[in-house]
Amino acid sequence: MQTYSLRPGGDIAEAYELYGGMLFKIAMVYLGNKQDAEEAMQETFIKLINKAPVFTDREHEKAWLIRVITNQCKNMLSSLWRKRVTRMEHMDDYFEEPSERLLMDHVMGLPFKYKSVIHLFYYEDYSVRQIAGILQISESAVKMRLQRGRKLLRMDLEGEERP
């Protein structure tokens, strides 16, 4: 079994090339602005250099990075300063169609626990089992959050279409 280590001597540039775009999108979904997303990525890669376990394969490494950036985003969102500021600029740069941006705005309006599972399931194509492992919750909790998140999105979207 081959192991991957990014401790001193490991290839951090390769990990950044493989996962940087995905991690940035995740951080943008949670935080809503480029500067905070970049900060979350920076902290995630610092943790990768300093605290990463020995990975059994690339999927293990990817899951670990998603868990770290998700936790970093949660920490940033819970800070006192962050609670007083909401920014969503530059989001249009990451969507090809205006309808994609509109849907993402609705997803970002969901409570954190729902938007995290919705993003991982629909935008990153993770299975329920994989999401449960990444977020360290049960599969039934993932299914319930998906169901409730979809319901909230549906209500939100239908409410806007009414005259």
Residue 55 bridge partners (DSSP): 4
Whether the pTM exceeds 0.85: the reply is: no
Task: Please list the pLDDT of the chain residue by residue as tens digits (163 residues).
Answer: 444 444 444 578 888 999 999 999 999 888 888 888 999 999 999 999 888 888 898 899 999 999 999 999 988 887 745 544 445 555 555 556 766 767 777 787 888 889 889 988 988 888 999 999 888 899 999 999 999 999 998 888 887 543 3
CA–CA separation, 65 and 70 (whole Å):
8
CA–CA separation, 159 and 163 (whole Å):
9
Domains annotated on the chain, with CATH: 11-78 (1.10.1740), 97-158 (1.10.10.10)
CA–CA separation, 48 and 18 (whole Å):
14
What residues have CB less than 8 Å from 46, skipping those under 6 apart? none
